[in-house]
Amino acid sequence: METSTVGGTIVRPVRKRRKFPAAFTWLTVTPFAAWAIARVAGLERGSFPTQLMTGTPYIAAGSLIPLMIAAYRRKHAAFAVALLTTAALGFSVLPRAFGTADAIPGRPFRVMTINMLFGKADAATIVGLVREFDPDVLSTQELTPEGVANLDAAGLKTLMPNRVLQDEWSAAGSGLYSKHALHSLPGWTAPPGHNMPGAVVDLPGGDPIEFIDAHPFPPLGRQVDDWNAALAAFPSAAPDKIRVIAGDFNASLDHAALRGLLSRGYKDAADQVGAGLIPTWPANKRVPPIITIDHVLVDQRVGVNEVSVRDVPGTDHRAVLAQLTVP
């Protein structure tokens, strides 16, 4: 209120801050807090919650919104819960972006894995990546007889003549290729899922390496039980052998089932070097890749120098390339 020079009083209206219902802040905080609890405690159960859990990196970023709302509205209890929520999700997700290369001496060992989408992936591009990256082992999923023929026609037969193949005219086919001597893994019984061949790779300069081509069923509908069973059935790391498991796991690091496998003596190669948030599916779509379900898992004694991903025409998965060192 102020006095006019010509008499009278000027009254300025007081602008009132727009009020929201008291419950509004909690309505924004609670869903994120529940997600954080489910993620940290590994509480996802059933098909739909399991599929939703792959969105955790985006939920972690989104959790900043209720945090700001609670701060702006000065709701101290809600702010505290929102802060704990953001911290829990951040600690679950952010380490994947800040890894560094391992300084572990050993034999160089390069791995490439690609889901070929019913064998439709462009064989020339795959073979071109093999020429460029020079992997010791190529792990393929959804490998069909036509896919085998196309890869060989593009030159893979010359580059990687050793193979353990279980190709089929469906998503079930898989196969391992190597430039070193390769033979089927004795006693290996694949867990529930698509074909998952195992092999022993005679890498020069030391003991051979066990290699498993991973491709569990996706956790859709009733297949979620087989998905859980497959991840639980992969062998634990063993002190008397070096093992690599690579492929399309249909799982992200936000799934308790995959973290359970890692806890049995493995590490995710991409996670180790700060590439764990690079999405691998669905590629070559109008919507860019949004989730990371293709992995290279290695024994804790294996060094990880670099991990990258490449687009391959004709398939909805990106190729994952890992440069490792093994004892």
Q: What local confidence, expressed as pLDDT, does residue 118 receive?
A: 97
Task: Identify whether 79 is part of a domain.
Answer: yes
Q: What local confidence, expressed as pLDDT, does residue 5 receive?
A: 57
Task: Identify whether 13 is part of a domain.
Answer: no
Range 203-229 average pLDDT: 97
Measure Cα distances from 49 to 44, 255, 289, 294 in Å.
Answer: 5, 10, 20, 20
Same domain, 165 and 129: yes
Same domain, 126 and 259: yes
Residue 47 structural domain: 23-97
Task: Identify whether 31 is part of a domain.
Answer: yes
Task: Identify whether 245 is part of a domain.
Answer: yes
Same domain, 217 and 72: no
Same domain, 127 and 67: no
Task: Identify whether 1 is part of a domain.
Answer: no
The helix (run of H) or strand (run of E) holding residue 12 is: none
What backbone torsions phi and psi does residue 71 show, to the nearest 5 degrees? -65, -45
Same domain, 238 and 316: yes
Same domain, 240 and 163: yes
- Rounded to the nearest angstrom, the gap between the alpha carbon of residue 263 and the centroid of all alpha carbons in its chain is 16
Task: Identify whether 61 is part of a domain.
Answer: yes
> What's the rounded Cα separation, in Å, for the pair 257 and 300?
18
Range 21-30 average pLDDT: 88
Same domain, 119 and 49: no
Least confident of 20-29, 33-42, 290-299, 305-314: 20-29
What's the DSSP call for residue 266?
Answer: E
Task: Identify whether 14 is part of a domain.
Answer: no
Q: What local confidence, expressed as pLDDT, does residue 20 receive?
A: 61
> What's the rounded Cα separation, in Å, for the pair 223 and 53?
16
Same domain, 244 and 141: yes
Structure-token pair, residue 169: 């005219």
Range 206-230 average pLDDT: 97
Same domain, 47 and 175: no
Amino acid making up residue 305:
N
The owner of tokens 């462009």 is 122
Q: Categorize the per-residue pLDDT at 287 as very low, low, confident or very high, splitting at 50, 70 and 90.
A: confident
| Residue 2 in this model has a pLDDT that exceeds 70 | no
Q: Categorize the per-residue pLDDT at 1 as very low, low, confident or very high, splitting at 50, 70 and 90.
A: low
Q: What local confidence, expressed as pLDDT, does residue 286 receive?
A: 86
Burial class for 203, CB neighbours closer than 10 Å (0-12, 13-18, 19+): buried
Same domain, 306 and 184: yes
Measure Cα distances from 88 to 65, 91, 96, 112, 237 in Å.
Answer: 15, 5, 14, 33, 28
Same domain, 79 and 112: no
pLDDT tens-digit series, residues 136-194: 999 999 999 999 999 999 999 999 999 999 999 999 999 999 999 999 999 999 999 99
| Residue 214 in this model has a pLDDT that exceeds 70 | yes
| Residue 104 in this model has a pLDDT that exceeds 90 | no
Of 67, 97, 127, the residue at which a domain comes to its end is 97
Task: Identify whether 102 is part of a domain.
Answer: no
Looking at per-residue pLDDT, the higher value among 8 and 58 belongs to 58
Query: C-alpha angle with apex 245: 258 to 243, nearest 5 degrees?
Result: 120
Least confident of 20-29, 31-40, 108-117, 162-171: 20-29
Q: How many domains does the chain have?
A: 2
The mean pLDDT value of the chain amounts to 94
Amino acid making up residue 48:
F
Of 97, 131, 159, the residue at which a domain comes to its end is 97
pLDDT tens-digit series, residues 231-243: 999 999 999 999 9
| Residue 291 in this model has a pLDDT that exceeds 80 | yes
Of 97, 123, 154, the residue at which a domain comes to its end is 97
Q: Categorize the per-residue pLDDT at 107 as very low, low, confident or very high, splitting at 50, 70 and 90.
A: very high
The helix (run of H) or strand (run of E) holding residue 192 is: none
Same domain, 114 and 158: yes
The CATH number assigned to the domain holding 263 equals 3.60.10.10
